[in-house]
Structure 1
Amino acid sequence: MSPMDEKSPMVYQPTMFVPPQPIPYPPNYTQYVTGPAQGAYGIPVVASTMWKSGMFECFQSTPNALMALFCPCVAVAQIASRLGAFGGYCGVLAVLFVIYCTHHAFAGLTQNEVDNYEQDQGHWTPQNINRLITYATLSSLTALLPALFLAVLRTRVRRVHHIQGSECEDFLCSYFCNCCTIAQMATEVQAYTPGECSFGPRSTIPAYHVVYGNTLV
Structure 2
Amino acid sequence: MQTVPEASLTPAIAPPPTTTSEPNPSLVITTGGPAKIIRLVPTHTIHDSADDYPELDTGSDGVDHNGISVGQWRQHLFGCIRSCVPNTCTAFLCPCVSAGQIAHRMGVGRFVPVLLSFGGLYITLLICLAASTAGGRGVALITGIGMWFYLYRLRATIRLAFQIPGSVLEDMCATVCCTVCSMSQMGAHIESFDSKNTCNLRPKSVLPGYNV
Q: Which TM-score bucket, shorter chain as reference?
A: 0.5 to 0.7
Equivalent pairs, count: 149
Give the TM-score normalised by the residue count of structure 2: 0.63
- Cα distance in 1 between the residues matched to 2:184 and 2:154: 13
Shift of 1:156: 0.7
User: What is residue 124 of structure 2 aligned with on the other side?
Assistant: 102
User: What is residue 192 of structure 2 aligned with on the other side?
Assistant: 191
- Cα distance in 1 between the residues matched to 2:184 and 2:98: 8
User: What is residue 96 of structure 2 aligned with on the other side?
Assistant: 73
- Cα distance in 2 between the residues matched to 1:180 and 1:44: 30
3-state DSSP of counterpart to 1:56: coil
Letter in 1 for 2:208: P
**Structure 2 contact 121–147 (Cα < 8 Å) conserved:** yes
**Structure 1 contact 82–202 (Cα < 8 Å) conserved:** yes
**Distance change in 2, residues 1:49/1:105 (3 Å):** same
**Distance change in 2, residues 1:73/1:206 (3 Å):** same
- Cα distance in 1 between the residues matched to 2:166 and 2:147: 20
1:48-197 mapped onto 2 (5 Å cutoff) = 48-63=70-85, 64-85=87-108, 87-109=109-131, 111=132, 113=133, 132=134, 134-195=135-196, 196-197=198-199
**Structure 1 contact 44–161 (Cα < 8 Å) conserved:** no
**Structure 1 contact 44–206 (Cα < 8 Å) conserved:** no
- Cα distance in 2 between the residues matched to 1:149 and 1:91: 13
Question: For 1:57-100, what per-residue CA distance to the aligned partner results, in whole angstroms no more than 9, with x for missing partners?
Answer: 11112212222221211111101000111x31111101112212
**Structure 2 contact 98–187 (Cα < 8 Å) conserved:** yes
- Cα distance in 2 between the residues matched to 1:137 and 1:53: 35
**Structure 2 contact 96–118 (Cα < 8 Å) conserved:** yes
Shift of 1:136: 2.5
- Cα distance in 2 between the residues matched to 1:96 and 1:145: 9
Alignment partner of 1:206 out of 188, 193, 208: 208
**Structure 2 contact 161–210 (Cα < 8 Å) conserved:** no
User: What is residue 122 of structure 1 aligned with on the other side?
Assistant: none
Question: For 1:116-175, what per-residue CA distance to the aligned partner results, in whole angstroms no more than 9, with x for missing partners?
Answer: xxxxxxxxxxxxxxxx3x433222121222111111110011111111111111111111
Taking CA–CA contacts closer than 8 Å with sequence separation of 6 or more, which of the two structures ends up with the larger relative contact order?
A: 1
Give the TM-score normalised by the residue count of structure 1: 0.62
Gaps of 5+ in 1: 1-36, 114-131, 211-217
**Structure 2 contact 55–210 (Cα < 8 Å) conserved:** yes
Letter in 2 for 1:190: E
Letter in 2 for 1:54: H
- Deviation beyond 6 Å, 4+ runs, structure 1: none
